[in-house]
Structure 1
């Protein structure tokens, strides 16, 4: 039959139509598999065929279609302030895929304790106003347990209200331990963006230098008012410090602010569904959004595991993969070729209500608590007797000894003097900041390894104000 005959033409169209239908049906199944974040776990047969066809597992996972339908791809993109290489996160996910036992730690503030106004009773300043199972980190943990059913996850919530990086850089070891595999850091609304750069960086460095080489992820919510040290209210927060540290230390940063804050500025009515009785603590809805953004990031990192392993660019003058996961020898506050040395071992810390016990029997100091969530050793009189605490300095530490104390414009707080041997510091527990926060002051430096003692006593009442009390929260070394 001639090739240009009507019958040949019809046959050609039929073949073309059949081919198109086959491609559409086949590609549809691939797209369904791509959209399903758990497809790689459930699929055992034929896995080699998928990889052979695509060259990697990129087509078999990603952000789930239900999450994309609800939140929109643009919100996931906006939330990923910084992603980086993904090296540490991917290593954590690979361990989970192999069914390992993994420890997940959280360092955060009152947001991560579900703080806010109880929507039922109207009680303000309630921890757990957002129920535990609806807090952002528990949403993430449920995803990990579902996505990696053969792994065993242990979660450690080291969140502590009214604290910031100046406390956590010294005391995180007492809250989440030193054998963690993944650490979430939620301190964007706690840290003062004007003063916390150093403590934020020290905290991050000490986490990344652990023997377990954990992955770290900044997870940021936001506040509608940020007033620090009596300065004008601003939308700036410690997220803007983290945005500088993240690329330098190759740490991802996931935040609710880029998507939600501009939307709230356009529509003020969104404040009520997103915040829980104030302008600082997120509601259940905001927790769900933040947790979902973290899950979306983790889903995408699962897809990138093989891409990183197969990445080219190992020669010439450019950095190789071998450098991934290493911590720069210098901080961002130093010269690139600085010869300064920094602690390579984690800090030590013991806090009131969690193991800190005086080495003597003071008469003027008492252990007090605030709503069974914050504990202090308090002296309420001027010129008190001494309270003495033991402190250990590790080999490989910088030799700094410090105390953590409450600073507030409330509670009649005044001044105290703390000493290590013949060295010490006078510390003021009062400030005009509207927030009551744990602060840290170095008492002595160049302290040799071994056991030492910190001695504290209150000083004379502060002038006409009569402020004389002082609250010690913890004793630490680094």
Structure 2
């Protein structure tokens, strides 16, 4: 049974269930069969016997038609008021059946569905939400107003693996594709696209540092951080802080979560699989490429070289972490197909009510990762972030012995040390007492260990941090201090002589210092 047949079957069964309920109401109205049970009075007709609301109306108006179809004994004709209500129900189901505002109805969505299949493309919408914010922004766009689109994401968003000189803003990048669609659709006088993607970074970094990479007045923000964090509670807590901080911006932007996928790690699941509860709590729509496309991989794994980046550095010759041009094109198009579906629904709303206004709901007063407390309102997040990847808010030490600045690429910068005993100290401020140090973890780079503490409380705040791990990816990870007194402080770190690296190497790489 294909998708269309399943939808028709669902429609007919739902219609019959409503008809059965209506028969019961009409039986009470007629005052007959009072002593008989509902099951004795009615029997359900074959779902194919009633095809549209015109036929159903004719049956309702007949003394015998409805009874012969639905009941063993006749009942009185239904009053006009009941007929109107029944027609309303039937029309609602007919509209669902027609699905006029689906993912395959707009010009971009239609081509995408022809290429990948309707079922696959429709599956990509894993949480639609109410789209209040998105529709408000789209209304602004199609009224000819200027807009800014921004991106928060990792190396996939940065275009790692694309064969372009400017892989962040080149025409093959998924977000550049979406931005081009928006320009072609709305033809604004002025618009701006800011790709804030940072390689090897996920929600743990962006929850504190997003404001360093995207403008505060962005209208539409695409969030792609699902594969740069493990499927664990700390990752989801950081994701909540990221979403909450974006929604709390003064210009009330629309946020669209887009999940990419990777197939080279120990688990297919990544943090994106655990983020749905946060998306639902904050009413943010989610579009997911893996949900749409993984079945095609199961059916034919030889498609992988066409979808992912070809890289001879990997034994298979395929980098299954980074999308190739084909998946970038799919991603940009499927995000636009979702926007097209919302524009269609907006047209329907405005046709029904020309005075339709697009408003937004409030950000929940409390976090989902927190105890419910009636009347409590969480303060607006104002993160502190100093990072090696920012020229505006760089991570600069107040004291340094033995550490140096170093980069492996223009977007991967660190403070590093390789001599045990090297010490570095960073100033910071906090308002809510949460302090986070981010550093690189890898099994490839010969990373060692450090010891860090806050101010002069070495005995009570010391944490031991390892750079080496046995995971198959190199990525920023974090260590957190809680309940730090609000105000100004200093974090001290010393490179240890001990190391977990099998080769005995001891280098350590610090990325950023953050707090709220």
TM-score (norm 1): 0.75
Matches for 1:177-326 after TM superposition, within 5 Å: 177-195=215-233, 196-227=235-266, 234-277=267-310, 278-305=319-346, 324-326=360-362
Q: Encode CA deviations 1:111-161: one digit per residue, 9 max, x unaligned.
A: 11222385xxxxxxx996798211110110001111111352222211111
**2:210 counterpart of 1:167:** no
In the alignment, which residue of structure 1 is the partner of 2:450? Answer: 416
Report the secondary structure of 1:226's partner residue.
Answer: coil
Is the 1:216–1:251 contact (alpha carbons within 8 Å) kept by the matching residues of 2?
yes
Do the aligned partners of 1:116 and 1:130 also contact (CA within 8 Å) in 2?
Answer: no
* Aligned equivalent of 1:469: 507
1:68 & 1:291 partners in 2: Cα distance? 14
- Aligned partner of residue 112 in structure 1, secondary structure: coil
Picking from 96, 112, 116, the partner of 2:141 is 96
Write out per-residue CA displacement over residues 349-374 of structure 1, whole angstroms, 9 at most, x where no aligned residue: 12114232534452401100012220
Aligned counterparts of 1:349 and 1:236: Cα–Cα separation in 2? 29
What are the residue-to-residue correspondences of 1:122-141 with 2, within 5 Å? Answer: 132-141=170-179
Which residue of structure 1 aligns with residue 191 of structure 2?
153
| 1:344 paired to 2:380 | yes
- 1:400: how far off? 2.1
**CA shift in 2, pair 1:454/1:338, >3 Å:** farther
**Superposed CA offset, 1:363-417 (max 9, x none):** 40110001222000011111113x2323244xxx423222211122233322223
Residue in 1 aligned with 2:82?
A: none
SS in 1 for 2:188: coil
Distance in 2 separating the partners of 1:469 and 1:171: 25
The verdict on how the C-alpha distance between 1:266 and 1:66 changes in structure 2, with shifts beyond 3 A counting, is closer
For the 8 Å contact 2:399–2:426, the answer to whether it is kept is no
The separation in 2 between residues aligned to 1:330 and 1:272, in whole angstroms, is 45
**Is the CA contact 2:137–2:254 (under 8 Å) kept in the aligned structure 1?**
yes
Ranked by relative contact order (alpha carbons within 8 Å, sequence separation 6 or more), the top structure is 1
Distance 2:345 2:469 in 1: 48
Measured in 1, the distance between the counterparts of 2:350 and 2:205 equals 37
The Cα shift of 1:283 comes to 1.3
Where do 5+ consecutive residues of structure 1 fail to align?
A: 1-57, 119-125, 228-233, 313-320
* Rounded Cα–Cα distance in structure 2 between residues aligned with 1:92 and 1:463: 50
8 Å CA contact retained: 2:154, 2:224:
yes
Contact kept in structure 2, 1:425 and 1:442, CA below 8 Å: no
* 8 Å CA contact retained: 2:389, 2:411: no
1:80–1:255 Cα contact (<8 Å) kept: yes
Question: In the superposition, relative to structure 1, how do residues 146 and 260 fare at CA in structure 2: closer, same or farther (>3 Å)?
Answer: same
Q: Contact 1:210/1:345 (CA < 8 Å) preserved in 2?
A: no
Please report the TM-score for the alignment, with normalisation by the length of structure 2: 0.69
Q: In the TM superposition, what is the alpha-carbon distance from 1:309 to its structure 2 partner?
A: 7.2
Tell me whether 340-349 or 179-188 shows the greater mean CA deviation.
340-349
Separation in 2 of the partners of 1:101 and 1:182? 12
Distance 1:434 1:459 in 2: 24
Q: Secondary structure at the match of 2:438?
A: strand
Bigger CA drift: 147-156 or 204-213? 147-156
Kept in 1: contact 2:146–2:188 (CA 8 A)? no
Spell out, residue by residue over 1:417-443, the C-alpha distance to the aligned partner (whole angstroms, 9 max, x if none).
333323444222222212111112224
Q: After the TM superposition, which of the residue ranges 462-471 and 86-95 deviates more from structure 2?
A: 462-471
Residues 131 and 474 of structure 1: is their aligned pair in 2 closer, same or farther, counting only changes over 3 Å? closer
1:14-70 CA distance string (max 9 Å, x none): xxxxxxxxxxxxxxxxxxxxxxxxxxxxxxxxxxxxxxxxxxxx89x9511444544
- Residues 311-369 of structure 1 show CA distances to partners (whole Å, capped at 9, x for unaligned) of 99xxxxxxxx9995322223333344477764413312121142325344524011000
Cα distance, 1:189 vs structure 2 = 1.8
The alignment partner of 2:404 has SS state of: strand
Structure 1 residue 112 corresponds to structure 2 residue 157: yes
Cα distance, 1:218 vs structure 2: 0.9
Match of 1:63 among 101, 106, 130: 106
Give the match's secondary structure for 1:111: coil
Alignment correspondent of 1:456: 493
Equivalent-residue separation in structure 1 for 2:257 and 2:191 (angstroms) = 20
